[in-house]
Amino acid sequence: MEKINYLLPEESAEMTLNQVKSLRQIEGRLRKLFGLKNYQEVMPPSFEYTQLYTALENNGKTFNQEKMFQFINHEGQSITLRYDFTLPLVRLYSQIKDSTSARYSYFGKIFRKEKRHKGRSTENYQIGIELFGESADKSELEILSLALQVIEQLGLNKTVFEIGSAKFFQRLCQLADGSTELLTELLLKKDLSGLNAFIEKNNFSKELRGLFKEIFITNELSRLENLVTNTKDDVLISSFDQLKEFSEKLSMIKPIIIDLGMVPKMDYYTDLMFKAYSSAANQPILSGGRYDQLLSNFQEEAVAIGFCCHMDTILKALERQELEEDND
């Protein structure tokens, strides 16, 4: 009888026993933290009608359908394996008849078609929270503060927390004379030489050129403020002032880096964005932001903000950190 070689699909990944143990420990700590902050744990279904995602295209907010696992169910309807947690929770919030404020937490997997050779898996475990219906100032400070507390619970030693603005990014794209796609690529890659070449090919103002030239180079607050103020652009200035305020209010918890070149990970981010990094990982360990406009698809007008922890990245970082400590 021929021996069967049981292999995993190329794009799949399997957690080790130690990773599962670490995951459950982190889950326990975060469940306790979220519970103390009145976040209710929810379990969205594994499948949603594909229309939940495609309907957003009418408002210019798109999801990459090529990365979705789509099926035809017994009704003959297209359904999609959970692509993210945010949109199902927006749907859930919109169905509450007395929609005041709501706080949700979640623990589970999302599924996106990825190529393993790019260091990504089709299955990604996420832990996160979403806050709906509170005032903007209260929501942003609460979520940012919680994100910083979550980072402390992960067990990673060297972490960095960065904040940016989707409004700032969108305004930069407008000022770049429609070169949105190229500018996005340059900012994502933090391609300084490419950005300098881009500046030289365009007739930008002296002040805007100065901002572009230093957008990757400096994190010094007063220098960034001078560069932005010199543009005399109301949107850039107001967006920066908001980021500066967050940085100053939260600095007692953890130093905050303002990244004026931060690009929205998802099209639906509309304002504040943030990411956390670890020296033991080459991908963000946490990311989030404001996405108020998503609610308008469900005839709801409210502040919406949240974040998720990328647990697969975090677990690998913990293992790498432990290995480095053993070698010291």
Phi, psi of 156 (to 5 degrees): -90, 135
Please report the pLDDT score of residue 116 as a whole number. 61
Cβ atoms of 67 and 112 within 8 Å: the answer is yes
The percentage of the chain sitting over the pLDDT mark of 70, rounded to a whole number, equals: 95
SS3 271: coil
The tens digit of pLDDT for each residue in 245-268 reads: 999 999 888 889 999 999 998 888
- Average pLDDT of span 45-69: 80
Place of tokens 């469940």: 31
Give how far the C-alpha of residue 14 lies from the chain's centroid of Cα atoms, to the nearest Å. Answer: 24
The residues near 71 (Cβ < 8 Å, ≥ 6 apart) are: 47, 78, 79, 80, 81
| Burial of 141 per CB tally in 10 Å (0-12, 13-18, 19+) | middle
Task: Name residue 79's beta-bridge partners.
Answer: 49, 71
**What are the extents of the domains in the chain?**
7-156
Please report the pLDDT score of residue 288 as a whole number. 96
The residues near 26 (Cβ < 8 Å, ≥ 6 apart) are: 127, 153, 154, 155, 311, 314
Q: Where are the beta strands (DSSP E) in 61-146?
A: 70-72, 78-81, 102-111, 123-132
Please report the pLDDT score of residue 252 as a whole number. 84
Lowest mean per-residue pLDDT among 18-32, 233-247, 260-274, 294-308: 294-308
Whats the size of the chain, residue-wise? 328
Domain 7-156 belongs to what topology? BirA Bifunctional Protein; domain 2 (3.30.930)
Please report the pLDDT score of residue 177 as a whole number. 77
User: How far is 161 from 46, CA to CA, in rounded Å?
Assistant: 31
Exposure string over 9-39, b if 16+ CB within 10 A, otherwise e: eebebeeeeebeebbeebeeebeebbeeeeb
Residue 66 has pLDDT above 90, yes or no: no
- The two tokens of residue 74 are 């017994």
Please report the pLDDT score of residue 251 as a whole number. 86
The residues near 227 (Cβ < 8 Å, ≥ 6 apart) are: 207, 210, 211, 214, 218
Average pLDDT, the chain: 89
- Average pLDDT of span 43-58: 85
Lowest mean per-residue pLDDT among 83-97, 132-146, 160-174, 227-241: 83-97
